[in-house]
Structures are given as C-alpha cells and as structure tokens.
Chain A
C-alpha cells in the first residue's frame, strides 16, 4: 500500500468499529418529537369534523329553507279550492259589530220564534272583500237599517288568516258548492297564486360558474430547519400562475346577507431550480456508490420530491458523479377539490352590485405532480411527498355583479386565499400556501 494512503487507512480501519454510546437524552428528545408529530397528525380528524359540520350546516340550512317555503305553499294550495266556492257563509269575517236589537215592530218575521236568528244578518259576502280586508259588502251597517251602530268593524283582515281559515270544516264556513265557481272566486284564486309566487320570490336560488387565474405561492414556518435556510428558500423558489374555478350555489333571501357554497378545483404551483451542485438540495437517498441505493431525491420547502424513475431524466451518473445536461426548473403543482362556506354581504345594492365576501374552505388534496420545465419541453418527473390530505383555508373577496337579463348576471371577483392549516407533513417546515386572483363568471337566478 502506498505510504500516502497510510493515514487514510489508519483512520478508516481505526474508526470503522467506533461505536460510542450516545447519551440517553438523545432518544428522549427523538421520542418527544415523534410523539408531538404523531399528535399533530391525529388532529386531522378535527378538520374532518369541522368540514363535516360545515357541510351539515349547509345541508340543514338548505333543507330548512326548502321546507319553510313548501309549508306556505301547501297551505295555500289546500285552502284555495274551497275558497272559491263560498255560497252562504254566515258572518264569515266575524266582524265585531253589534247591531242593536231591532224592534219587534220593525223586523219581526211572522212565524219566527228564534230571537237570535232574527238578530243574524243573512248576507252573501262579496268574496273580493276577503282579499281587500274590508267588511263584506253585503253587511249593511245597522245605521242604515236600524239607525245606529254600537261599535266599529275590526281593522283590515290579514289575508293569510283568511286563507288558512277557509278550509272546509273550519267552523265558520258553510258547506261548499264545488260545481260552479263564480267570477269573483276566480279572481281570488289568481290573487292567491300571485301571493304564493311573491312568497317564493323571497328566496332566490342562484347557481353559477366561475373561473380565473390565480398567483400562488407559500408562506412557511421553520420547524427543524436552520433559520439560515430562509434566504435560500426565498431566493431559489418562486410562486407561479395557476388557476381556480368551479360551481357555486347561493341562497338569497332578499336581504343583504347571502350564503354561498359549491364545489371548486384549484391548482397551486411553485417552482425551484434544478441545480445539481448544491448539496442542500441533494437530500436524503442520494448515492455516491453504486452498491448503495440508486434513489436520488431533491426537496423543496414543502418536502421531498420523489422521482418516478430512479434518476431524473437527462441526469446521468458517471464515475465522476452526476452529470447535469443543463439548468432547468422543477415545478410542483398541488391540486385541490374545495368546498366553500362563504357569507356575502351587499355593500352596494344597485344595478352594479358590490359584495364583500368572507369564508372558510375545506380543501381536499387530489394529488401532486412535479414537472421538469426544460425550455419548451415539459416532463412529468414525480410527486411531492409529505402532503396532508385535508386542510382548511380562508378567503376574502369583493364581488361585482351586473345583470344582463332577468335571469342572468355577470360577476367579477378579485380574491385573496390563505391556508390556515399547513399543507405538508415535512418535519423541517410548515407550509401555508396563499393565492391572489380574479374569478369571473355567470350567475343564473331561479
């Protein structure tokens, strides 16, 4: 053996079996960190519960509104048919008028012995009065008949009260003649239907579609990575333009507040250069000896990039190490299906409406892709590991609405989104994406 290598051999052989026992507290720290990480992962079901709770809330609200509306309409439908067939109600509106007992000389009916019957005024009320709330036109004030009125009529009658009490067997209705509705009865029917429509219009159901570009990037906290790496992350990585879009459903009760949900899909993207001579990006699994594993990994702030092939395309391993054909970019894309729960408040309620919107989104990761961008060539290289499946984000936006017909409106919505929970499980960094963009679309009013 050459003398020059004697030093190397001495240390290699001398330290080959050097196995000092590490202090006990090293394992204690590892165990503590593993437990903390495990606990943070167990917190995921909490997000699931939140998402489930939001979904349940939306569902119940929707069901409640539908039930509320259908109850009104069913009442009307049930009562309108008998209402058109009133033939001879007694004093249907129950006016609080009391008529002075007429003198027996003036109104005594020959052969009659029922005094109370004599006091009843037999009239056929004009059914239009049921709608106007006026006293039946057939009722003639006692003054005209008897010369005096003891008390006034009740105030105008609420039509709903009348509608609900016009069903058969309500006590104050006579038996109905179902054969020949009068002209007035038809008017009542039309009015009732018009009122039912009016009730229904109190909740506008809106369905729409939105699509737009968004600039996406990420914020991050250091967990175990050295703080000196912040400049590296900030200088070498950058945000990218991606897109978002989906279908929105809104319930508008006519006030200033509107609740919106729906189903959206968003792409979040970021990029980093692929530079082989930077050791900090040659992460775990890189090999130098062919008898070890041939897996080569890189990482970004999010975590480890795992390549589909053993080595990235065009990267050739030689005896001298890896040969890089040229610089290119590694682009990570995260795809999320999202369910929003957004509250919209109208700050300007004119033809050009303006809303301010705030909401919480449940974001479900559909997958990650890492692309190699080599000039105009794009290759799929692998995936970004260490990702959470479910995360929660928040949104703030301004919505501009302009009607183009009775049923359609155009929308433009600049927005800002920020992820409230970290999207990765990397032990070194906690990554929180954010995005800034504009959604445009169309709403259809039912």
Chain B
C-alpha cells in the first residue's frame, strides 16, 4: 500500500509551507515535495502603480527582509533613472544592507536553528524551542538577542525605523549621515563583533557532532550563483554574477546583473506557489543551483575583511577540496557572514567620506526598463520593472532568494527523507530532520505568517484510496 506523509506546517521557517513524502508499497520513499501554500501576487497587483512606489510596495513582501527589497527595488529605480548614485549614498546603502544581513542571520541561527543544533533533532519537541535554548545556554540566547538588536539598531539609526524604513530612495538616500549617528553606530560594533567571534568559535566545536547530518543534508551536486566583486571577492550590494559548479569550475563570470535573464529561466509546477528558477544552459529541471551564504562563500576567493577571511579559510577546510556541497553548512556560512558584515560596516563608517552630504542623484525616468540585483541574507534578489511614458509599471518580475533555492530544497528533502524516514516506523525526530534541512536554507516564504516553535505538526499516513491509516501529532 503506497502512503503519503504530510508535514504541515513546516515549523521555524518564515511563512507557510508543507512537505509531502510519498511512500511506496515497501515503505520506501518514492517522492518528496516542498509546497509553498500561500499566494501573494505582488507581480500582478503592482502593475499600474508609479515606479517610485515600488520600494515601499515591494518591501511589504516581507517583515523580516524589507531592507533587502528596498535595496533591490531602489537599484531597479536607479536603473530607470539612468543615474550613478553618489559614492557616499552607495556606501550608506551598503551599511544598511549589511546590517540587515547581520540581524537576519542572527535570527536564523540563534532563534530558528539553534534548538536543533543545541538540543538535538531527537529531543523532546515540546522543549525543542527557544526556551529550551535559554535553559541550556542562556548566554548564547542573550548573545543572539543582542546581535539582532545591534543589526536592527543600525537599520533604525540610518532609516528612522527598524521595519520598512523609507530612507533609501531612487538615486541614493534621502539624508546624509550625521557625525553623531556615525559615532552611535561605531560604538555598537566591538560588542557585536565579540559576540560573533564567540559564537563562531563555539559553533566550530559543535560541527564535528553533526557529521551524519552534514553527510545527508543536501549533498547532491548543484551549481552556485551569487554576486561577486569584479575581482571575485564577497559582494552583497553590487558587482557581477558568477555561477560555479559543484567541482569548482566557474561556468559564468563577470555577468552584468542586467543580463540575469540569460542565465535564469523560471518554471512553475502545480504543487507549489513558488516559482522554480533554473540555470538556462542546463535546462529544467537539471539546472539546479543554490544561492545564499553557502553559495556566496563557495563562489569567492576572499571576503576582504581580516577575521572573516580567517573564518572563510576554515570554512573551505570543512571539505577536502572543491566547493562545500552540504547544505547543512549554510549555518556555518551564516556565522562567517555575520563577522564579515560587522567588520565591513565598521570599515565603511570609518571612511572619512561617509559624512559627505552629496548622497542623492535626482532625475526623472530615462529608461523604460530597470533591473536591480543585490544579495539578500538568503541569496540573490532580483527586481525587474518595465514602465510606460507616465512612469507606471507595465510589467515586473521578482526573483526572490528563496525561489532560487526551490529546486535544491526539493532535492534536499528527498535526500534527507531517503536517509532518515522509515515508512514502517515513523518517529518525530526523523520528520524533524526533514524540516531541519529546509531550515538550513532559512527560506522566507512571505511576511504573512512566520511560524516557529511549537506549532502543531500533524503527519498523516494515507492509503492509496486517501484514507488516513495512521496519524502522528505534536
């Protein structure tokens, strides 16, 4: 009798999703799928709106990463204006983007994933949550809160508010930075960096415990896509696109972000509201690639800041050679990027030109098409707009970081389910590992609902006729 196991909702991720595992007559896995069950429709209802509304409108896609949308959207608007924004305006935007990286990665590592990493995948699900972490390691929990607070405070200092700031505008930023604000942000950084280094050192001691998970959590070969600097170093704001394969061969390099359509196609499937982007030259569904911290670190030679470069070298030693293939090591990569983000924010703030008052270029639209690409915490984020003579949006395409990883996430849950799920004797810990591989990617499915902790998890076994023959809940 074939059966389907449904994990719904997937917990400790951003948004609503479901996983189904299809088992055959012998209880072995036949198929596994990750379903995005919510529909947003931004690409449709933004049509007809003035392009200058896009940063504010598209930022509402998410309450966790509005800054990322604000950055990518304003870059698309810069492209429509056909202006080069003043260098200080760009640096200020970079600081905000990095602060977003720090706070988002802190949320993912400390709040969403640390219960599994510290308490274990097989621990009691009623205590496998942030309170369990607080009891076991209160210093780590306090560090996570403080690190997130530092990132949020920098965003608020620059943008006036933590969520949906309106300071980034087409052409630059609306206000220059004051010396007082610069000092207030600089004061936060030593503590933040100390926390980041301490957490990184602690996590390195945990990694050897996870050999089994690292060997099964998304180790199938894929490509890696990210922005890099023209020199091939870590880049989150600008730069060029690079695609590397699982053996470390660079397939695409120095690709201007405006040419993303040459690299990426988008497919749809009837079981999910998330698109399935793929690498065009390899076709669908073979062209699987990953984005985000793992891809970014795999794609670069250096971060460009002192301590992060040491950590990057250690990251590359997780494997004997080649790019790090296990998606489990997204966690490790996130910690390296937190260090990088704090170091780079400090460097940018100490730049004497950061107080320059020329921070915005002003123009009307001078193009009918604008493309903005930046690295969001979860990966490469692309905003693409077309406008008419009145500046109204006639078409837009958003390629979201989590979407890039869709094929890889589906592949990963199949791999984990094959390794851990025994259809004849289901245990909660098995299913938690299936969820946990998704958490490695830190998917952000929307800002509509952000589930974590002890949401009810129901797994049903159904026979071929759809009848429920067994049910496990928590």
A and B together in one complex: no
